[in-house]
Amino acid sequence: MDLGTILGQVEDWILALSGAAWVYPAMLGLALVDGFFPPLPSESVVITLAVAARTTGTPWLPGILVAAIVGAWCGDQIAYQIGRSVGTERVRILRTEKGRATVRWAKRALARRGASFIIAARYIPIGRVAVNMTAGAVRYPLRRFMGYSAIAAVVWGFYAIAVGLTASVWLHEYPLLAMAVGIAVGVVLGLLLDRVLHLLLHRRGELVDEEEDPADAPAVDGADPQVTTTRPSA
Question: Nearest-CA neighbor of 29 among 71, 91, 59, 78?
Answer: 71
Q: Taking 80 as the threshold, does the pLDDT of residue 136 lie above it? A: yes
- Is 230 within a domain? no
More confident call, 207 vs 53 = 53
When pLDDT is cut at 50, 70 and 90, the band that residue 230 belongs to is very low
- Is 225 within a domain? no
Range 9-19 average pLDDT:
67
- Is 79 within a domain? yes
Which amino acid is residue 56, in one-letter code?
Answer: T
CA pair distance 29, 67, nearest whole angstrom: 8
Residue range of the domain that includes 108: 21-216
- Is 121 within a domain? yes
Query: Which pLDDT score is estimated for 39?
Result: 73
Q: Taking 70 as the threshold, does the pLDDT of residue 161 lie above it? A: yes
More confident call, 56 vs 68 = 68
Range 185-197 average pLDDT:
70
pLDDT in tens, 96-121: 776 677 677 777 777 767 777 788 88
Q: Considering its fold, how many domains does the chain have in total? A: 1
Q: Taking 60 as the threshold, does the pLDDT of residue 214 lie above it? A: no
215: which DSSP letter?
G
Query: Which pLDDT score is estimated for 74?
Result: 97
Question: Nearest-CA neighbor of 57 among 18, 26, 21, 24?
Answer: 18
- Is 207 within a domain? yes
When pLDDT is cut at 50, 70 and 90, the band that residue 219 belongs to is very low
Query: Which pLDDT score is estimated for 37?
Result: 84
Q: Taking 60 as the threshold, does the pLDDT of residue 1 lie above it? A: no
- Is 16 within a domain? no
Average per-residue pLDDT for the chain: 75
- Is 228 within a domain? no
pTM: 0.72
- Is 203 within a domain? yes
Annotate 81-105 with DSSP letters as a single string.
HHHHHH-STT-GGGSSHHHHHHHHH
